[in-house]
């Protein structure tokens, strides 16, 4: 099996009336999209997360059909499956420009040479803006770094992925879950955002996230942290990806700005992009919503 699926289930506990109301107000919208999601009582939260802080607990938003996967194993699996279908990968090869003839893309220029083509998909993630600028299109994607960590493994003691959206002085939400191996994986959204492409781990991360985790879940206190890392969210102003053909350069397709949801959205979007390029079929609603030419003034309701 390439990856594990089926839990953890998102659980957003609420310790203030404001947060509880905000979460409950979102439920009709989420249910409207067919999501199996609901509100559970404080005793059910305690049952699902034995040892969670009890004082002030008002209940939580619970989404019982979520799952998780290993991004490392997933990309390895995609790589193997794509090679079996005849895809060729060129590693350590940087795209440095494109050739355009009469408004049509004709070649990719790399630091290893030129590759002729009729279509290009810009899927450069946090560097998507740099690549789109190579064809003269300026798209609002900016790298925003997030740090994560993983502990030693212990016997399973809770199943949900706990997401605490109450902000403190230095950070917004943070979340953690216990993976299939028993390790706790955790991550936090610092405030202000850490913009840029620096991926070195910082000395700020653990002092920022650990006290918050222990306050919510004191049972974690004897676990040892094994490893930390820092990666990039390719952010957009409205928190939605940028997906669609370039209007000026025929054959050039943008698939960037996946924000903090690229693994969840990637496979579905890739299917739609393949259909759009190979068959000329575009899902009008999705492509209008994610258009590179939208006004970007929307806002995420829940981060």
Ligand X SMILES: Cc1cc2nc3c(=O)[nH]c(=O)nc-3n(C[C@H](O)[C@H](O)[C@H](O)COP(=O)(O)OP(=O)(O)OC[C@H]3O[C@@H](n4cnc5c(N)ncnc54)[C@H](O)[C@@H]3O)c2cc1C
Contact residues: ligand X, CB under 6 A: 94-95, 123-127, 131, 146, 148, 187, 231-234, 258-264
Report the relative pairing of strands 38-40 and 59-63 from DSSP bridges: antiparallel
Closest CA to 124 of 253, 286, 272, 303: 253
CB of 26 to ligand X, least distance (A): 19
Between 20 and 148, name the residue whose CB sits nearer to ligand X: 148
Q: Do 226 and 80 form a contact (C-beta atoms < 8 A)?
A: no
CB of 226 to ligand X, least distance (A): 15
Between 7 and 262, name the residue whose CB sits nearer to ligand X: 262
Between 44 and 99, name the residue whose CB sits nearer to ligand X: 99
CB of 54 to ligand X, least distance (A): 28
Between 263 and 301, name the residue whose CB sits nearer to ligand X: 263
Between 124 and 209, name the residue whose CB sits nearer to ligand X: 124
CB of 126 to ligand X, least distance (A): 6
Closest CA to 105 of 231, 210, 253: 253
Closest CA to 157 of 50, 15, 272, 60: 50
- 201-237 burial: b if 16+ Cβ within 10 Å, else e: eeeebbebbbebbeebbebbeebebeeeebebbbbbe
Looking up tokens 């890739």 gives: 270
CB of 42 to ligand X, least distance (A): 26
């Amino acid at each position: 099996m390439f990856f594990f699926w089926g839990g953890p289930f998102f659980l957003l506990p609420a310790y203030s009336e404001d947060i509880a109301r905000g979460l409950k107000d979102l439920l009709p919208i989420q249910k409207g999209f067919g999501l199996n999601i609901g509100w559970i009582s404080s005793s059910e939260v305690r049952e699902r997360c034995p040892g969670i802080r009890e004082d002030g607990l008002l209940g939580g938003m619970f989404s019982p059909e979520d799952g998780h996967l290993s991004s490392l194993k997933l990309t390895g699996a995609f790589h193997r499956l794509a090679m079996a279908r005849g895809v060729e990968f060129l590693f350590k090869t940087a795209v440095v420009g494109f050739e355009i003839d009469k408004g049509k893309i004709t070649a990719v220029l790399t630091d290893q040479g030129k590759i002729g083509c009729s279509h290009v998909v810009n899927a450069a993630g946090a560097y998507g803006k740099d690549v789109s600028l190579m064809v003269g299109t300026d798209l609002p994607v900016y790298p925003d770094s997030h740090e994560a960590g993983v502990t030693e493994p212990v016997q399973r003691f809770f199943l949900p992925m706990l997401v605490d959206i109450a902000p403190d002085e230095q950070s917004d939400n943070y979340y953690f879950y216990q993976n299939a191996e028993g390790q706790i994986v955790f991550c936090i959204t610092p405030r202000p955002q850490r913009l840029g492409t620096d991926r070195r781990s910082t000395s700020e991360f653990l002092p920022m996230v650990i006290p918050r985790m222990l306050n919510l879940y004191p049972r974690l206190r004897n676990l040892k942290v094994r490893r930390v890392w820092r990666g990039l969210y390719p952010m957009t102003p409205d928190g939605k990806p940028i997906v669609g053909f370039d209007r000026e350069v025929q054959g050039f397709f943008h698939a960037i700005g996946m924000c903090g949801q690229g693994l969840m959205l990637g496979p579905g979007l890739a299917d739609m992009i393949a259909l759009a390029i190979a068959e000329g079929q575009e899902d009008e609603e999705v492509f209008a919503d994610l258009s590179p030419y939208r006004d970007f003034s929307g806002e995420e309701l829940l981060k």
